[in-house]
Structure 1
Amino acid sequence: MEKLESIVKVSGKGQVVIPKDVRDALGIKSGEKLAVIVRNDEIVLRKVERLNFLEMSSRISSVAEKENIDVDRLVTEAVEWARKQR
């Protein structure tokens, strides 16, 4: 269901304010992280804990393809780094 809650203005730094009533309705608190998802010509903000694996995978694949990043190698390096941190 889509519902227009309000119109917000983008600042010179690219910032927008999520109206208080919207934050309250969705339980968004100060300091929480939101995922920014571009879907066709829309920008979708979603609480990070609600971002599902398929969306994360799609976003990572898209960026990796654009940037010519070997995701398998990157994951291997991240795992090796994490093991060294113990």
Structure 2
Amino acid sequence: MEKLESIVKVSGKGQIVIPKEVRDALGIKSGGKLAVIVRDDEIILRKIERLDLLEMSSRISSVVEKENIDVDKLVMEAVEWARKQR
């Protein structure tokens, strides 16, 4: 069930504040981890207790196949971008 909890503002650094009531309700503590999932025009934040590599791998593979992404090209672009940041 979806429920609008509140509206938040994005800072100049791209940061948002998750309202205290939401953090408390979901048990999100300082230093907690959230998965950021993009689906169409939605950004979904999902609380994660631990990194499940099998699940992450499955999701990544699904997106790669669905979107016909060239992973080798993507990795090369990331390496080039990282080199330019030095």
The TM tier, using the shorter chain, reads: 0.5 to 0.7
2:71 corresponding residue in structure 1? 68
Q: Mind listing any 5+ residue stretches in structure 1 that lack a counterpart?
A: 70-86
Deviates more, 1:60-69 or 1:40-49: 60-69
Aligned residues: 67
RMSD: 2.5
User: What amino acid maps onto 1:68 in structure 2?
Assistant: V
Q: Mind listing any 5+ residue stretches in structure 2 that lack a counterpart?
A: 73-86
2:18 corresponding residue in structure 1? 18
Deviations 1:18-45 (A, max 9, x none): 0000000000000011000011111000
Partners of 1:50 and 1:39 lie apart in 2 by 22
Partners of 1:16 and 1:49 lie apart in 2 by 21
